[in-house]
Amino acid sequence: MPTPFISRAVRPLLLAAMLVTAAPAAQAQSSASADHPADLLTPAFHKQRRELVRQAMPAGSVAVMFAAPVRNRANDVDFVYHQNPDLYYLTGYQEPNSMLVLFKEPQTVGGQTGVTEMLFVDPRDPQREQWTGRRLGSEGAKKQLNLQAAADNKAFATAGINWAGFTNVLFAELPADMRDDTRDPADLFNLVASFREQAAVPADFKPQQSDLYKIIQRYGVSNAANLRPYLENLTKQNPGVAQDAYVQSYLKATTDAERQKAVANRLLSRFDTSVLNDILSNLRAVKTPEELALLRRAVRISAVGQQEVMKATTPNMGEMELQGLHEYVYKKYGAEFEGYPSIVGAGNNACVLHYITNDKPQVKNDLLLMDCGAEYHGYTADVTRTIPPGGKFSPAQRQIYEIVLAAQEAGFAACKPGAEFQAPHKAAQKVITDGLLKLGIISKPEEVRTYFPHGTSHYLGLDVHDRGNYEPLQAGNVITVEPGIYIPEGSPCDKKWWNIGVRIEDDVLITSSGSENLSREAPRTVAEIEAMMARPSALDNFKLPVLR
C-alpha cells in the first residue's frame, strides 16, 4: 500500500534529510487457551517492551498512553474495535476505555508503593458483558497480562499521582475523536479530560508546535542553513505554523546573534509528545523473533491469497467479488482482519493509489491491481500484484509491467543493512525514469513524478504504515518495496498507454547480510503470473443461484 511522500509517517525522514548535511466495539479479551489461538504474543514479550520504554525515558519522567476510541459506524452500531497499536505493543490489552502509565522512578499510586507501571481498565460489568463480551477487569488484566499493577479506570481520578513532581510528562498525541458516554464516568473521554486536568496540560497545548519549538531550540543556531528552508516550506503548508509568533520571530532573525536571542525567547514545556514517539519508533522499527513469526504468517497468507485469486480471475468477474476471494483466504487461515481496506482496481481504477470502492461490475481485460494484506494477531502484510484478467498481458501492458518489475529488482538490490532508508526508492525511481523516457511517455526526468507519485518503501508491522525512525536500514527492519507506474485516461502521452496502472509490492526483511523477500510465494514475473492464471481454481465449479 503506497505511502505519500509528505505524511506524518515520513516526517522524521524528511526532517533528518534537511537537518543532516458491524459488531459491537467492546469485544471480549482474547487469551491463549483451547478456545483461542496459541500463537499470540506472550505477556513476557509485552513486559519486556514496557521495560525497554522505561529504560529509554529521561530521569524524572512519566509516560501516559491511552486506548483507541470506540468508533461509530452508524446509529447504535460501532466498528469492530481496534486497539491503539502502541498500547497493544506494550500490554497485549485489547479493550477500550483504558490507559497505561509508566514511571521512570517508582511511585506511590492508589496506596501502592514502588509502582513503575499501572494499567487502568474497564471494570467487570456482568450486564454489559452479556452484550459485548467478557472483560478482563483489573484483576484479570494484572494476572493474565503480567502487569505490576492494574486498577479500574474509575480509580484514575483518585489515584493520587503527583503530576507536578515530574520533570517531563510524556504522551503521544491525545485522542481527539472520542464520544462522551454519559452512562460511564470513566470512559476514554473522561480519562483524557481527567489527565489533562490533573497534569495541568495547558488548554492551548499543540503537540506539533511543541515539537517544532524543540527542533528550533536544538538546530536553530547550529544548523540554521538547513532549518530555515524547512520552516519556510512548513509555513506554506500549515497556516497554524505560519501564524506562530515564535516561528516567525526565528525566521526574521538574520544573524547568529539574533537567532540565539529568538531561540532563547521561549521556555520549553515539560509536556512532550516527541520523546515517547521516538522511543516507540526506535523499538517498533526492529522486529523481534516473536513479531517476525506473526509477520511471516500474515505475509504468507496474503501471498497464497494472491495465488488463489490469480487462478480464479476471469474478465467477467467484478472487483468486489475478487476482493471477497482474497479476504476469504485470510479468514480460512485464521487472520482476524485485513490490515487496511483492500485495493482491487481494474483499468483506470488501478491508477487511483488508495482506491477502495471496488465496485466495478466486470474487470474485463484491463490490468487488475490487487493491493491486499492479511492482519494476523495484530501484524499486517502488504502485498500487491497486477495481473491481466484474461490470463495474458497485452504488448503495451507487458512493456509497462516489465519496467516496474525491473525497478523492483533494483529496489531489492538496495535493501541491505547500512543503506539509507531512501536507497530502494532512489534505485527504483531511476529505472522507472529511464524506462518512461525510452518509451517516450515522459520527455525529461523530473516528469517521472507524474506517473510514479509515491515512495517505494515504508515500515511494516502493527500498522501497515508502521512506526519507524527512517534511519539507515538495519537487521530486523521489515519494509515494503513497491514501485509503480500509473497512466490514467487523459494523460499527456500516447493513448495506447492510458488506463494502465501497475504496482508490484513485496514485504522485505532486512537481515545481517542483505534481505529476504517474505512474500516471494506470490508470482511476480510475467511468465509466473501467466502460468499461475492458467492453473485450475478450486472455485471453477463454485456456482451460486442467480438472484432475480
Say which CATH number the domain at 156 has: 3.40.350.10
Q: Is residue 20 domain-resident?
A: no
Residue 25 lies in a domain: no
Can you read off the three cell numbers belonging to residue 179? 464520544
Number of domains in the chain: 3
On whether both 49 and 180 belong to a single domain, the answer is: yes
Look at the alpha carbons of 254, 256, 258, 262 in this order and tell me if their dihedral is positive or negative. positive
Alpha-carbon distance of 271 to 275, in angstroms, equals 10
Instruction: Give the H/E segment covering residue 383.
Output: strand 383-387
Q: What span, in angstroms and rounded, lies between the C-alpha atoms of 195 and 203?
A: 12
520 Cβ partners below 8 Å, 6+ apart? 303, 506
Query: What is the structure's pLDDT at 31?
Result: 53
Supply the pTM of this predicted model: 0.92
Residue for grid cell 466486470: 362
Judge if 165 and 223 occupy the same domain.
no
Same domain, 242 and 358: no
Q: Residue 179's domain spans which residues?
A: 43-199
Q: Are residue 181 and residue 82 in the same domain, yes or no?
A: yes
Residue that finishes a domain, picked among 151, 170, 199: 199
Regarding whether 441 and 357 lie in a shared domain, the answer is yes
84 and 170 together in one domain: yes
CB atoms within 10 A of CB 126: 8
Co-location of 313 and 168 in the same domain: no
- The whole-angstrom distance between residue 183's C-alpha and the CA centroid of its chain comes to 33
Last residue of a domain, one of 268, 294, 312: 268
Enumerate the β-bridge partners of residue 510: 515
**Residue keyed to cell 490489552:** 93
The reply to whether 454 falls in a domain is yes
Residue 355 lies in a domain: yes
Q: Is 164 exposed, middle or buried (0-12, 13-18, 19+ CB in 10 A)?
A: exposed
How far apart CA 180 and CA 235 sit, in angstroms, is: 34
> What is the rounded distance in angstroms from the CA atom of residue 41 to the CA atom of residue 38?
9
Same domain, 58 and 151: yes
pLDDT in the model for residue 411: 98
Q: Strand 506-510 vs strand 478-481: parallel, antiparallel, or unpaired?
A: antiparallel
Average pLDDT per run of 10 along the chain, which is 548 residues long? 63 46 44 76 98 98 97 94 97 98 96 96 95 95 97 96 96 88 93 97 85 88 90 88 89 93 85 94 98 98 98 98 98 98 98 97 97 98 98 98 98 98 98 98 97 98 97 98 98 97 98 98 98 95 91
449 in any annotated domain: yes
The position carrying cell 524528511 is: 14
Q: Are residues 304 and 406 in the same domain?
A: yes
| CATH code where residue 314 lies | 3.90.230.10
**Distant-in-sequence, close-in-space partners of 542: CB < 8 Å, separation ≥ 6:** none
Sequence-ordered strand ranges (E) for 4-126: 61-66, 72-74, 77-78, 99-109, 112-121
Q: Select from 167, 183, 199 the last residue of a domain.
A: 199
Residue 503: in which H helix or E strand, if any? Answer: strand 500-503
In a domain, 212, yes or no: yes
Q: Are 193 and 211 part of one and the same domain?
A: no
In a domain, 346, yes or no: yes
Tell me if 101 is assigned to some domain: yes
pLDDT of residue 238: 87
Q: Report residue 314 CA to chain centroid gap.
A: 33
Q: Both 437 and 419 in a single domain?
A: yes
Helix (H) / strand (E) element for 468: namely none
Q: Using alpha carbons, list the distances in angstroms from residue 17 to 63, 234, 472.
A: 29, 15, 12
pLDDT at 165: 96
Which three-class secondary structure state does DSSP give residue 510?
strand
Beta carbons within 8 Å of 394's beta carbon, 6+ residues apart: 365, 388
The answer to whether residues 228 and 306 belong to one domain is no
